[in-house]
Amino acid sequence: MAEHVVGKNVFIDKQPIMLYSKFCNMQGIIDALPEDKKEKVQITEDSLSVKVYGMEIGVKLTERVPFSKLGFVQYGNTPFPFNLTLHFDPALTKDGATDFHIELSAELNTMMKMMIGGKLQAAVDQLTDAISQAASGQMPSGFDSYVM
């Protein structure tokens, strides 16, 4: 059964081109990781995978709309199929800023829906906050608490 979540919107004080450029080549993400986490992440130009709480989560970049949207699909041995889309829109209320949000569509079987279906909105919003914090030069809240 398909679950669709639209994350909250946040404003980031960087132009859409700057944010888009950070994510359109996944290898750039490795530079932002703490040294002790780098060995646990596998990254190529178009893919990223990591083990979190014993579960492999991976994404592969499949869609690029220059400076406005990046689309990802599940990659590797993820527990369910999903699509993740990052939206980078120019902020209408502030020059040079980005109106950012994430959309997630996931195909969850009955068991997975019972386990995580109600937590998808919070997960997408937490990811949105983490990206916003990282873009502002801050370590995302709770990043060190993830078991990798």
Burial class (CB in 10 A: 0-12, 13-18, 19+), 1: exposed
Structural domain boundaries in the chain: 2-136
Please state the CATH superfamily assignment of the domain spanning residues 2-136 in this structure: START domain (3.30.530.20)
User: What global pTM score does this model have?
Assistant: 0.87
Per DSSP, the residues of 57-93 read EEEEEEEEETTTEEEEEE-SS-SS-EEEEEEEEE-SS
Number of neighbours of residue 138 by Cβ within 10 angstroms: 11
Residue 77's Cβ-count burial label (10 Å; 0-12, 13-18, 19+) is exposed
Task: Read off the pLDDT of residues 29-80 as tens digits, 9 standing for 90 and up.
Answer: 887 777 887 888 889 999 999 877 777 789 999 999 999 999 999 998 888 9
